[in-house]
Amino acid sequence: MRERVLCLLVPLLLAGCDDYHMIDQQKMEDDGAASALPRGQTDQPPVAGTVARGDSLREQQSNQRPPMTSALLERGHERFDIYCSPCHGHVGDGQGMIPQRGFPHPPSFHQDRLRQAPDSHFLDVITSGYGAMYSYAARVQPSDRWAIVAYIRALQLSQNTRLAELPADLKQRLEAGGSP
């Protein structure tokens, strides 16, 4: 019985193979017409803001430091609080909420090595990641990376400025026991 079923099935299966060449199926070709799609063709323009990997314009922007303005600092403050403070803490001491819950502790920005590190080091870390820290290139655009670096420098100053270097009015307020 089993042999008889097989004898019937095998020719059927082979015939089936013959009828269905996958290469001949209906499909859309590159640059082909497609009335159901916008512009009536299969190829669609990239979504606005799409950036190719290794985009030279973007790379160029990374190398161009924007002028230091209070708007840049403000932007850096905002971006830092969103993207960096969860791990690095609001003052950059490495005591953010995520390390408190088990992620490796980032180093404090207020140590000599990072105070002396050039701006390009911070830019590189944001762009490429560093050790346990992953890259923020996809989330922080090049001009914002500079804004964050400017803000980190401000944070570093905020924790390491001599009294004598402060403007007179701030100095007076501090000496009177108030906060700057």
Residue 148 in the binding site for ligand HEC (CB under 6 A): yes
Considering only 34, 61, 103, 143, the residue that binds ligand HEC (CB under 6 A) is: 103
Residue 104 in the binding site for ligand HEC (CB under 6 A): yes
**DSSP 8-class letter at 46:** P
Name the minimum Å distance from CB 70 to ligand HEC: 20
Residue 123 in the binding site for ligand HEC (CB under 6 A): no
Name the minimum Å distance from CB 19 to ligand HEC: 56
Residue 66 in the binding site for ligand HEC (CB under 6 A): no
> Which helix (H) or strand (E) segment is 3 a member of?
helix 2-19
**Amino acid found at 163:** L
109: exposed, middle or buried (Cβ count in 10 Å: 0-12, 13-18, 19+): buried
Q: Which stretch binds ligand HEC (CB under 6 A): 6-14, 39-47, 53-61, 102-110?
A: 102-110
Distances (CA, A) of 165 to 68, 91, 100, 160, 179: 20, 20, 34, 10, 16
Least Cα distance to 127 among 118, 119, 117, 137 occurs for 137
* Residues at the interface with ligand HEC (CB under 6 A): 83-84, 86-88, 98, 103-104, 106-107, 122, 125-126, 130-133, 136, 140, 148
